[in-house]
Amino acid sequence: MKGRKYSAPPKSLVVLISGSGSNLQSLMDGCAAGRINGRIKAVISSNAQAKGLVRAQNAGIPTYVFSKAEYGDARDAKMAEVIASFSPDFIILAGYLGIISPPLIERFRYKIINIHPALLPKYGGKNFFGINVHNAVIQAGDKKSGATVHYVDEGTDTGLIIRRKKVRVMPGDTPEVLQKRVLKKEHILIVETVRALCNGNIRARKIYKYDRRKGK
């Protein structure tokens, strides 16, 4: 995708991480190259050691750490105030391992998205994170996997799916090899999806229909 000049002002983005931040880096590069009409206003981590914090600091992006150990159950309330101070158009969970509480979801409903390293709804839910996901795909003998970006709702990896990208599972793949192949696809998917969201090409109408179907 070529970068381009946008007429509309950039959307305000807040990114939540817990680890290396390679998806965050893809978003930073996408914004810098003009592929995303957005500006990452803050990076928040649940883990003070997250390498993604260094990526943000090197780019001059304000960073915050809200660990469960330090904040306990008050974490999300404190985090919500910081997030709100940036008036985000979108809040992107990019490898964020914390569970977002219902009040935080309600306050920013349809603004919070998550990237998951599998083709949801398969291989999603409480125990499916990190290498466990790829282990399960290989154990099941699936021939394809992939990555999914979805809205965050009160469930775990259950919100409305926005976009997915498939990845082939090759004979002899180890979970680590598959994880690397999926992660490369995630980096493309997250930029394409956030670009579409910032351009207003993904309508909330679809979401309301989805939530009505779920009896919300």
Q: Does 19 bind ligand GRF (CB under 6 A)?
A: yes
How does DSSP classify residue 210? H
Q: Is 199 exposed, middle or buried (0-12, 13-18, 19+ CB in 10 A)?
A: middle
Q: How many chain residues bind ligand GRF (CB under 6 A)?
A: 15
Secondary structure element (H or E) that encloses residue 29, with its range: helix 22-32
Separation of alpha carbons 164 and 156, rounded Å: 17
The residue number with the shortest CB distance to ligand GRF is 95
Least separation, in Å, of the C-beta of 52 and ligand GRF? 6
Q: Is 13 exposed, middle or buried (0-12, 13-18, 19+ CB in 10 A)?
A: buried
Q: Which residues are catalytic?
A: 116
Nearest to 190 by CA among 16, 62, 9, 72: 16
Write out the binding residues for ligand GRF, residues 78-107 only, by CB under 6 A. Answer: 94-95
Separation of alpha carbons 47 and 52, rounded Å: 10
**Site for ligand GRF (CB under 6 A): which residue of 20, 156, 158, 199?**
20
Q: Does 21 bind ligand GRF (CB under 6 A)?
A: yes
Interface with ligand GRF by CB under 6 A: which range of 112-120, 153-161, 167-175, 200-208?
112-120
Interface with ligand GRF by CB under 6 A: which range of 6-14, 16-24, 83-91, 191-199?
16-24
Q: Does 115 bind ligand GRF (CB under 6 A)?
A: yes
Q: What does the binding site for ligand GRF look like in residue numbers (CB under 6 A)?
A: 17, 19-24, 52, 94-95, 115-117, 183, 186
